[in-house]
Structure 1
Amino acid sequence: MVDTQREIERKYEAATGDDLPDLTAVGGVRAVVDQGTAELDATYYDTADARLADASLTLRRRTGGKDAGWHLKLPVAEGVRDEIRAPLSDTVPAHLRDLVRSRVRGAALVPVVRLRSSRATRHLLDADGTLLAEISLDRVHAERLSGGTGTADWTEIEVELADNGDPAFLDKVDKKLRKAGVRRSSAASKLARALEETGGRPGPAAPGTHRPPTDTPPATAGDHVLAYVRAQRDALVALDPSVRRDLFDSVHSMRVATRRLRSTFRSFGTVLDRRVTDPVAEDLKWLAGELGVDRDREVLTEHLTRAVSELPGPLVGGPVRNRLRAWSDARRGGSRRRLISVLDGERYLCLLDALDALITEPPLLKAAVKDPGKVLTRAVHKDFHKVAELIGRALDLPPGHDRNIALHEARKKAKRTRYAAEATTPALGRPARALLTSMKSLQTLLGEHQDSVLVRDALLELSALADKARESSFTYGVLYGREEQRAAAAEAALPEVWRTLRAATPF
């Protein structure tokens, strides 16, 4: 059995002989209840080159205390982590191993640090006896198991917010602790401190792996493009556990990262050699397609559900909502299993390795070492004028199938130009930001139109299913007509919107 806990906590330094400060005066606290002392023994696992630690992930096997077992901690925000737990076993549970697969790839997970802690715990309760937070004093002994041979000892205070608690309560505790002379810990976690104090981080990463970039600001055109590529690669890797956990918007966010990478390779073909990037782009296109199997139908279902709810009652004939729900769920289970198999598959892992290699040894062309102002402006200018050409071509066509296709192509190009502007904003500043704003507006309008096309296709499919089941298809026809009106409104607004955006765009 695996369960997840949202952990919101703060850590503080404490002297070896310290005890827990008196927190009875903290606002809202009516009682401080001693929970006794527990002896905890945790072994932390990582790759030999610390890929999990570099990403602020911790994987441990712990005995003692009330939550003995395997714990994987994934960062959510500063001071906030999701702790995914699994029962005790001799080896890393398969589910937890899968959640770090995008980081670990084929490397072995080995014991790196052992932490033995004596934890004195108190509960902070309100007037109703409800738990507000747990405060503990940990006396820690760290022993390096691999990558070093040192040991270290320290004492720290940890304050963890109760489930569904108000994070503002931690500010009240923080104020009281600071008045008592206690200061915040400089280490993000016990593991981070243990690594630093028992031999530091491991040596250089193995080939094909990645470490956080240096703080050196980008100077050349190549620097700026690679910084953007690196950010999207990092997003892909970081989103992998969220997609596996089926968290809200994670699939969409990962899909966007693949699009940004593909767009960057195409837009900046004078900077990065497309003979190298094109095969990577093909695999990114494949991954985006796999990610989209559920997402596209999910978006259509949300839109149609909302549209049905807005119809007057007499216009809803037959089991429309049930039909829509069945249509939405038809492939959900199978496609979900397929997506997980994709993330576990060789092609996906090879894609991540290829992105690492591309960043480690980038296929830079001559323009990469030149002034970013000229090189990047030229690339963005080219993309923008392609959008203008496609918009003009679409507006010259009569309403119908061919215009729908032309507007869809213009939308895709606007999206690519938007990503190019996004990538060049650090170098080009205001002009790139202006273009980014314009392309977002254009993409929204063209997206409305394309959504109406896809919704109408879905309505035809739903209507055919209803007819086959001898159900009324009247409602689908009503919705189809409304979608036609939505598309017509977008097309009618496009010429004026485009003139305004073009006048405001400095390219």
Structure 2
Amino acid sequence: MADTKREIERKYEAAAGDELPDLTRVGGVSGVLDKGLAELDATYYDTADQHLAASSITLRRRTGGDDAGWHLKLPVSDGVRDEIRAPLSDTVPETLAALVRSRVRDAELVPLVRLRSSRDIRHLVDADGNLLAEVSVDRVRAQRLSGGTGTAEWTETEVELADDGDPAFLDKVDKKLRKAGLRRSSAPSKLARALEETSEGTGPPTAAGPQQPPVTAGDHVLAYARAQRDAIVELDPAVRRDLFDSVHSMRVATRRLRSTFRSYDKVLDRGVTDPIADELKWLAGELGIDRDQEVLTERLMAALDELPPSLLSGPVRDRLDTWSQGRRGGSRQRLTDVLDGKRYLELLDALDTLIADPPLLKAAAKDPAKALAKAVRKDFGKVAGLVVQALDLPSGHDRDVAMHEARKKAKRTRYAAEAAAPALGKPAEALVKAMKSLQTLLGDHQDSVMAREALLELSAEAYAAAENAFTYGVLYGREEQRAAAAEAALPETWQTVEKEARV
């Protein structure tokens, strides 16, 4: 069983003979407790071509200290990482191997570097004895295990914030350490420094730095596609950990990619992208198996909460809950199986290949200001046609369908404008904002359509069970009002969109 700890720390370079300054003079610190010396022995694992190190991810097996075991560290932001722990074992635990699968794919994880550290530990505590931060002076000995035979030694100081501590406290400690002559480490981790100093001239792997500024239309489209590919890979561990909004965010990345392939079919050959788009559609479907049902249930439950007690008749909440559970077709294990499956990993490989060797067409070499704007205008024209069609139709099924189709095209236009924004500037940015506003209005209308369909189904079930169906009718009427309000607002919203959308 793995557990997670949010790690917020700063590292400083120090000479072997450097002494820590008097940290009792740091604001808020009432005492510095000597916690003794710990001998730590850690072996870091990676693929032969160091995919994890290139993504600033570390996976290690460590003995010694009070947290012996396997540790996987995933970057969150500068100086912040999530450390996921698993018990000590001889092989990489599957719980941790799964979290790096989107990076590793089918490659083997092998011992890369061994770090042995003598850690002199101090605890900074407040007046009540509560831990504020742990300060350690580490004397590190690094040995390369694969990809070289080099060794290195250095001394560094590490300051790790206590759980739930205020990150601003680290600024106070930082000021004191810098005044004493210490400087922030240029390496983000011990492993990064070990790889640099034991590389024997080959150089350590580095995370993908900034790409060259896009010049052509193809450059801009590929930059956007690359960002979505990266998002899918980076969100994979979060989805496996069931972190908030991770499934939705990965699903959006798949939709952005599919939309990009379709909008810019004059830039990227659809003979290559269509099969990948089909797989992205499959993945989005797997990610959304339960998500759409959850959103619909939350809407209906919220509507129930708004009703006065006098309008609640029968076991409405219980029936809604039973209905919702019965319509759920997925599970956490099902989604994990998808992410571990061959089909998903082959999709990631296909995306890598597309980015590395893009199927560029003639328009890819053109001026982005013209080629991208043309594609965006084409998508916008489709939205306009559907909105005009919806406005010309009477309320009912046909208008509902037209508004739903307009919503989907508004999303595609928004994503196309996002990809074009670096080249087109403010006009594209204004279109993104306008499409988002339109999408919100049309989305609320479509949610109302789905809610009314669900309420008809629920009321039929209630009637068959000899339950009072009055409340479902009340909710249906309110959803009709919400849909009517969205339809009434559409003309004015569309006028605003047309004024703001000038690409």
Q: How high is the TM-score relative to the length of structure 2? A: 0.97
Separation (CA, whole Å) in 2 of partners of 1:487 and 1:319: 26
Determine the C-alpha separation between the residues in 1 that align with 2:481 and 2:261.
37
Structure 1 pair 106–51 and aligned structure 2 pair: CA distance change class (3 A): same
| Counterpart position of 1:311 | 307
> Which of 409, 424, 427 in structure 2 is aligned with 1:428?
424
CA distance in 2, matches of 1:174, 1:68: 28
Task: State the partner residue of 1:108.
Answer: 108
* Offset at residue 496 of structure 1 (A): 1.4
Given the alignment of the two structures, is residue 444 of structure 1 paired with residue 443 of structure 2, yes or no? no
Q: Distance in 2 between matches of 1:483 and 1:121?
A: 62
Partners of 1:217 and 1:130 lie apart in 2 by: 49
Shift of 1:331: 5.8
Aligned equivalents of 1:461 and 1:398: distance in 2? 25
- What is the match of residue 8 of structure 2? 8
What's the CA shift for 1:334? 4.3
Taking the TM superposition and a 5 Å limit, the aligned residue runs for 1:126-137 are 126-137=126-137
* Pair 1:248 & 2:244 matched: yes
Change (3 A) 1:82 1:328: farther
Q: Which position in structure 2 is the counterpart of 1:360?
A: 356
| Secondary structure of the corresponding residue to residue 132 of structure 1 | strand
Q: In the alignment, residue 17 of structure 1 is paired with which amino acid?
A: G
User: Are 2:239 and 1:239 equivalent residues in the alignment?
Assistant: no
- C-alpha distance in structure 2 between counterparts of 1:254 and 1:284, whole Å: 11
Map of 2:452 onto structure 1: 456
Structure-2 change in CA distance of 1:65 and 1:227 (3 Å):
same
Q: Could you say if the C-alpha distance between residues 465 and 155 of structure 1 is closer, same or farther in structure 2, counting changes exceeding 3 Å?
A: farther
Q: Is this contact kept in 2: 1:37–1:121, CA < 8 A?
A: yes
Equivalent residue letter for 1:266? R
Q: 1:301 to 1:200 in 2, by over 3 A?
A: farther
Give CA deviations for 1:183-219 in whole Å, capped at 9, x if unaligned: 11111111111111110797899xxxx9726531111
1:410 matched residue in structure 2:
406
Assess, with a 3 A threshold, how the Cα gap between structure 1 residues 284 and 203 changes in structure 2: closer, same or farther.
Answer: farther
Tell me how far apart the structure 2 counterparts of residues 201 and 432 of structure 1 sit (CA, whole Å).
Answer: 46
Q: Match of 1:371?
A: 367
How far apart, in 2, do the equivalents of 1:110 and 1:420 lie?
Answer: 42
Following superposition, the deviation at residue 317 of structure 1 comes to 2.3
Rounded to whole Å, the distance in 1 between the matches of 2:465 and 2:98 is: 42
Cα gap change, 1:401/1:180 in structure 2, threshold over 3 Å: closer, same or farther? same
How big is each residue's C-alpha offset from its partner over 1:446-501, in whole Å with a ceiling of 9 and x where there is no partner?
11101111122222333344344444332222111111110110001101110121
Match of 1:277 in 2: 273
Q: Does 1:495 align with 2:491?
A: yes
Could you say what secondary structure the match of 2:183 adopts? coil
- Say whether 1:287 aligns with 2:283: yes
Which residues of 2 match residues 345-356 of structure 1 at below 5 A? 345-356=341-352
Please state whether the residue corresponding to 1:141 is helix, strand or coil: strand
Q: Distance in 2 between matches of 1:126 and 1:327?
A: 53
Q: Output the amino acid matched with 1:103.
A: R
SS in 1 for 2:45: strand
Question: Are the counterparts in 1 of residues 195 and 204 from structure 2 also a CA contact under 8 Å?
Answer: no
Taking only aligned residues, the RMSD between alpha carbons, in angstroms, comes to 1.8
Partner of 2:91: 91
Deviation at 1:431, TM superposition (A): 1.0
Match of 2:65 in 1: 65
Bigger Cα displacement from structure 2, 390-399 vs 269-278: 390-399
The correspondence of residues 183-194 of structure 1 with structure 2, limited to 5 A, is: 183-194=183-194
**1:49–1:204 Cα contact (<8 Å) kept:** no
**CA shift in 2, pair 1:323/1:79, >3 Å:** farther
Is the contact between residue 11 and residue 158 of structure 1 (CA under 8 Å) also seen in structure 2?
yes
* TM-score, with structure 1 as normaliser: 0.96
How many residues matched? Answer: 503
Q: How does 1:169-188 map to 2 (within 5 A)?
A: 169-188=169-188
- 1:190-229 matches, within 5 Å, as 190-199=190-199, 212=208, 214-229=210-225
Contact 2:138–2:155 (8 Å) recurs in 1? yes
Which moves more between the two structures, 412-421 or 71-80? 71-80
| Structure 2 match to 1:390 | 386
Q: Distance in 1 between matches of 2:86 and 2:467?
A: 48
Q: How does 1:138-177 map to 2 (within 5 A)?
A: 138-177=138-177
Q: Write the deviation string for residues 294-335 of structure 1: whole angstroms up to 9, x where unpaired.
A: 211121222222221111111122333333333444466843
Distance 2:320 2:399 in 1: 29
Q: Within 2, Cα distance between the matches of 1:201 and 1:266?
A: 45
Give, in angstroms, the shift of residue 172 of structure 1: 1.2
Judged with a 3 Å threshold, the aligned counterparts in structure 2 of structure 1 residues 368 and 45 are, in CA distance, closer, same or farther, namely same
- Runs of at least 5 residues in structure 1 that lack an aligned partner in the other structure: none
